[in-house]
Amino acid sequence: MPTQESWKVSPGDPNWVCVPGVAKPINCGSQARARLIAAAPETAAERDRLRALNAELIGELKNAAAADEFYRHETSRSAYLREFAVRARAAIAKAKE
């Protein structure tokens, strides 16, 4: 996939985007659209990074919630840990929406 640096708004006409491997610049119809299209690779990369981070966070929250479930009969658990497990489960549910 082309990198952000390789997708450029045309210096000759800011309504056009130059994309490597494409013979002619793409007419975007407006400068705003041209800037958005030129930013597409960077936007996709950030989306992918955030998806990976979200998956990691969900995994860790699931581990925390599972630990809470495993130790639920322990009387030594603090109220803070119980509240954390409740918040972790809520965060898991929200992330899955």
Distances (CA, A) of 90 to 17, 32, 51, 64, 86: 43, 39, 18, 12, 6
Domain count, the chain: 2
pLDDT score recorded for residue 5: 52
Task: Quote the CA–CA distance of 11 and 73 in Å, as a whole number.
Answer: 67
pLDDT score recorded for residue 1: 45
Which neighbouring-strand residues pair with 16?
27
- Give domain status of residue 43, yes or no: no
Which residues form the domain of 82?
A: 53-95
- Give domain status of residue 48, yes or no: no
- Domain co-membership, 26 together with 60: no
What is the chain's pLDDT, residue by residue, as a tens digit (97 residues)? Answer: 444 457 778 777 777 788 777 777 777 777 777 777 778 888 888 889 888 888 888 887 888 778 777 777 766 667 667 777 777 788 777 777 6
Task: Quote the CA–CA distance of 45 and 4 in Å, as a whole number.
Answer: 9
- Domain co-membership, 28 together with 61: no
